[in-house]
Each structure stands twice: as C-alpha cells, then as structure tokens.
Amino acid sequence: MSNKDPIVAIATAPGRGGIGVVRVSAPDLVAFIGRFFGRDLTARHAHYLPFSDANGQAIDEGIALFFKGPHSYTGEDVLELQGHGGPAVLKRIIDRCLEVAREMQMGLRHAEPGEFTQRAFLNNRLDLAQAEAVADLIDASSEAAARSAMESLSGAFSGLVNALADRVIHLRMLVEATLDFPEEEIEFLEKYQAREELQSIQDDLQHLIKQAKQGMILREGMHVVLAGQPNVGKSSLLNALAGDDVAIVTPIAGTTRDKVIQQIHIQGVPIHIVDTAGLRETDDTVESIGIARTWAEIEKANVIVHLQDARSPNDELDADITRRLPARTPVLKVFNKLDLLSEEEAAVLNRQLSETTEEAGHEATGILVSAKKETGLDALRQKLLDIAGWNPSAESPWLARERHLHALNSASEHLAMAEEHASYDDRVLDLFAEELRLAHDELCKITGQFSSDDLLGEIFSSFCIGK
Ligand code: GDP
Ligand code: ZN
C-alpha cells in the first residue's frame, strides 16, 4: 500500500440519506473520468449525469464534481460523485469505479480511515494539528467543541505555535552565528538581549499551555462516577442533570444492565456520567457482581460523586465507602433529598459541611441537593467544572490533544534548561543552542514538520473512512 495509490470511499455517513457521496483521489484522474463518463468533466463545474454500468445501464443519476490537483482537498485529482444516499446504490457506484480502474490497470483501492486527510497533510494542504481538527470537528459533541475544532482547522492554533517556533529559530540563528566566533560568546547574551527574549518566549508558551489545557478539557471532557448506597437517588440525580440537556443526551449502550453511561454537557464541556449499582453488603450473587463493577468504575473515574441521604449525613456505611475510595481521585460528597429536611436541619448540615473540608485524605466538598425538586444542581455543575479545571474566562479558541500539551510542556522544559545554561558564569553556549534546538523540535511536532510514521498512522487510523 502506498501513499500514491488511487483510492475510493463513500464519504457520507453509513445508512440511508437523501444524498450519498463517493470520493476518488489519485495523482491523475483525467483518463479515468473519460472512461467512466465517456466524456471530459470541466474542473469545478457541477455536471448532472447518469452513472452507468459496463452495459451503459444507469446505476444512478447525480452530480459529478472534478477537482484538478493541487486545488482539491487531498492536493491530488479528486472526483466526487453525489448519488442517492442508499447503501446498495453507493456500493454499486464504488464497484463500478473499481471495475473501470481495473480495465485501465490503475490500481484503485478502498481508502483506509482518514486516508484522504492524510494525503491532504502529505501534500501540504493542512498541517498535522489542522488534520486532527478535521476529525475533532466531525466528532465534536457540543457546539462549543465544534466551534473550537473549526478554529484549529482554520489554523488558529498552528499559527500561534508557528509564531513561537519562529522566535526560537531566530534566537537559534543568532547563537549559531556566534558559535563560529568563540571570542564573542560572552557578549552574545547581552548584545542580543537573548535572556530577555528567551523569558518572553517562555511567558507566551505558558499562556499557550494554559489555553491548550482548556482545549483539552473541551475535547476530552471528564468521567464522573455516581456512587453511593442503594436508594440515595443516584438514578434520579443523573436524570435531573441530563434533563436540561435532553436534546443532546446520548445514552451509550451499556454492556451490562447495572451500568448506565450518559453524556451531558456543562457549558459545552462533555461530561460522561456513570450511574452505578448501589454499594452495600449483599449475599445476592447478581447484585455483588454489580457492586464489583461499580468499584471497577470508581477506579477509572476522573471524579467520584459520593451521593448520600441528607437525612443521615453521618451514616456508618457511607464512612466505610469513603475509606475505600481511591485517594488519588477527587471526591465530591453530595447530600440528596434536601427537600425532606426542615430548614433548621438543612442549616445544621450546611454548617457541618463547611467545617469538614478534609476527610480520609480526600479533598471532600459537601453539596446539598434535591434531585426531585432540582435544587442545588447549578452548584453541583459548577463544582464539577471547577474540578475539571474549566475556566471559561480564559480564551480557549481551539481544541487540543494530549499530544499537543505534551509537546508544549517539553518545549517549555527545554527553554528552561536553555535559560539555566545562559545563567552560568562560564556560559556554555553550545548547550544553550542545543536546548533551543530541542525546544524547536517539540514545537514542530505539533504541526507535523517532524513526525514519525508511527505517529501519523496512529492519528489517521482513528478517522472515519471517506475522510
Ligand atoms: P438509586 O438507587 O440511588 O439510583 O436511587 P433512585 O434514584 O432510584 O431513588 C430512590 C428513591 O428516592 C426513589 O423513590 C426516588 O423518587 C427518591 N428520591 C430520589 N431523589 C430524591 C429527592 O431529592 N427527594 C426525595 N424526596 N426523594 C428522592
Ligand atoms: Zn439507581
């Protein structure tokens, strides 16, 4: 399999739809088009044509669009056939493409997931961060995420990274030039205010890292597990939280009946909430399996909501549960059924909660809610966002991935090392230069100027086919 093979795929979502699109990309499609249609197509014109089989019988009728490379999505010649959006008819169109290509010995094959976008990257139509944004835009589950993905796609993130990389390059040029004249080494730092410039680059990089963290929260969201004794109101709370979001709630088919995952959005941040089997001592085999699974979910959570009955805030079993929760995971203590408390009782509990901030080694915060009356839910939502580190006042105009954050952090470490080398009395300029080079490499990894085949394979294989 090569990056030059002609490829074909259905570009629209599987299933039925008004229109379905078959896309072909190859270095040269002029002869193929002549054979497929018995005529030429004008580039960038919509042609309404029959798509015919080998006997000249119409398989479908639709619009053919020809994009002559490099002015196309992939940078190669691209042909788009817009037919009717049924799986059978689209398969026949693809089969006909393969048949025509076989007669011409073109070596046309089905595209791998993301292969069209991979070609766009390889042909410099997009950089790597932009190519990732294509997948993120398709996968975006909230409007905020979609808007941010589009920002990345249009190059906002890449632009900032490139601007920083350019400043590092400039500094590198000055150092490398100085290295050729060792007697000037000492003056170099002063002459070009290199240390000040380095500090300023580091400041801007820190700002970028902050934004990238926000972008990552928006992309990844967080996994929240609702845990607690039976009947404290876990399922009711999940429903109450999902209520506002009902139009975009996507129940993910649980593998077991004892686990329900729902995705909700709080200020556009995707939150995956797992409702679990109630935790208690039991002899029932089926129930104990459910409880074992609950503990497995708790181990994987980013945040644990430990739901309790507000009428028994000092319950022994809840104290047991608290002791068993993993120490590394933030725990939010939520007391439900507030509506069943008198005003006085509620005031007492509130006072008690503000006094206990730390318990069993966890940062435990107490919130009073009523799932039934839907009170206290906004405070709970805000608390979840706080724990995620979501800070809506910070600009977060683009989505970011773990990979981006890792590269930004490594670049920052190398800049810090460079600064250290510049601070010694016997300054070691070649070490300074080397750290700058490493910082520069990290920044270039984001946009894909230096990227291994492994990384590319990993990124593009997570795309859908036809993109
Ligand atoms: P789970 O077993 O923890 O999932 O608890 P459920 O959500 O199934 O609720 C158990 C019972 O508590 C149901 O009868 C709910 O109607 C009731 N319940 C849940 N939340 C509240 C609440 O805030 N106030 C009152 N009064 N009842 C509630
Ligand atoms: Zn339940």
Q: pLDDT higher for 282 or 33? A: 33
Structural domain ending residue among the three candidates 86, 102, 126: 126
Instruction: Give the C-alpha separation, 437 to 434, whole Å.
Output: 5
DSSP 335: E
Question: Which of 132, 126, 143 has the alpha carbon at shortest distance from 212?
Answer: 132
Give 32-83 pLDDT, tens digit per residue: 999 999 999 999 999 999 999 999 999 999 999 999 999 999 999 999 999 9
Domain that holds residue 136: 128-448
Place of tokens 């009717």: 84
pLDDT bracket for residue 262 (50, 70, 90): confident
Instruction: Give the C-alpha separation, 462 to 439, whole Å.
Output: 28
Establish if 257 belongs to a structural domain.
yes
Mutation test residue for ligand 1: of 225, 231, 235, 236, the one with most atoms within 8 Å of CB:
236
Q: What is the mean pLDDT of the chain?
A: 86
Helix (H, G, I), strand (E, B) or coil at 333: strand
Establish if 461 belongs to a structural domain.
no
Establish if 467 belongs to a structural domain.
no
Domain match, 203 and 68 both: no
Establish if 229 belongs to a structural domain.
yes
Domain match, 99 and 33 both: yes
Q: Total structural domains in the chain?
A: 2
Span between the terminal Cα atoms of the chain, in Å: 18
CB 376 within 8 A of CB 236: no
State yes or no: 397 annotated in a binding site. no
pLDDT (mean) for 198-205: 95
Domain match, 122 and 152 both: no
Torsion angles phi and psi, residue 125, rounded to 5:
-80, -25
State yes or no: 322 annotated in a binding site. no
Q: Which two tokens stand for residue 386?
A: 């706080």
pTM: 0.76
State yes or no: 278 annotated in a binding site. yes
DSSP 356: -
Mutation test residue for ligand 1: of 231, 340, 369, the one with most atoms within 8 Å of CB:
231
CA 361 to ligand 2 center in whole angstroms = 28
Give 294-310 pLDDT, tens digit per residue: 888 888 898 999 999 99
Domain match, 149 and 118 both: no
Helix (H, G, I), strand (E, B) or coil at 378: helix
Structural domain ending residue among the three candidates 126, 150, 179: 126
CA 246 to ligand 2 center in whole angstroms = 19
Q: How many helices (H) and strands (E) does the chain have?
A: 16, 14
pLDDT bracket for residue 356 (50, 70, 90): low
Instruction: Give the C-alpha separation, 338 to 335, whole Å.
Output: 7
pLDDT for the residue numbered 394: 57
Q: Which atom of ligand 1 is nearest to the CA of 336?
A: 23
State yes or no: 254 annotated in a binding site. yes
Domain match, 218 and 357 both: yes
pLDDT bracket for residue 405 (50, 70, 90): very high
Segment among 149-158, 176-185, 205-214 with least mean pLDDT: 176-185
Domain match, 152 and 18 both: no
Domain match, 93 and 153 both: no
CB 443 within 8 A of CB 254: no
Torsion angles phi and psi, residue 398, rounded to 5:
-140, 160
State yes or no: 178 annotated in a binding site. no
Domain match, 149 and 275 both: yes
Instruction: State yes or no: pLDDT of 364 exceeds 60.
Output: no
Q: Which two tokens stand for residue 311?
A: 């009428």
Domain match, 87 and 168 both: no
- On the question of a cis peptide bond just before residue 326, with omega within 30 degrees of 0, the verdict is no
Structural domain ending residue among the three candidates 92, 126, 160: 126
Establish if 81 belongs to a structural domain.
yes
CA 372 to ligand 1 center in whole angstroms = 7
Domain match, 114 and 222 both: no
Q: What is the ipTM of this complex?
A: 0.98
User: CATH number, domain at 77?
Assistant: 3.30.1360.120
What sign results for the dihedral spanned by CA atoms 31, 33, 37, 43? negative
pLDDT (mean) for 3-21: 92
Establish if 462 belongs to a structural domain.
no
Domain match, 226 and 274 both: yes
pLDDT bracket for residue 189 (50, 70, 90): low
Establish if 457 belongs to a structural domain.
no
pLDDT for the residue numbered 140: 87
Give 78-133 pLDDT, tens digit per residue: 999 999 999 999 999 999 999 999 999 999 999 999 999 999 999 999 999 999 99
> What residue ranges line ligand 1, CB within 6 angstroms?
230-236, 278, 336-337, 339-340, 370-372
pLDDT for the residue numbered 31: 97
CA 239 to ligand 1 center in whole angstroms = 11
Instruction: Give the C-alpha separation, 416 to 444, whole Å.
Output: 18
Residue nearest to atom 25 of ligand 1 (CA): 337
pLDDT for the residue numbered 257: 44
pLDDT (mean) for 162-188: 77
User: CATH number, domain at 397?
Assistant: 3.40.50.300
Establish if 286 belongs to a structural domain.
yes
pLDDT (mean) for 370-379: 94
Q: Beta strand pairing status for 303-309 and 331-336?
A: parallel
Residue nearest to atom 11 of ligand 1 (CA): 231
CA 320 to ligand 1 center in whole angstroms = 21
Domain match, 42 and 120 both: yes
pLDDT for the residue numbered 175: 80
Instruction: State yes or no: pLDDT of 1 exceeds 80.
Output: no
CA 350 to ligand 2 center in whole angstroms = 26
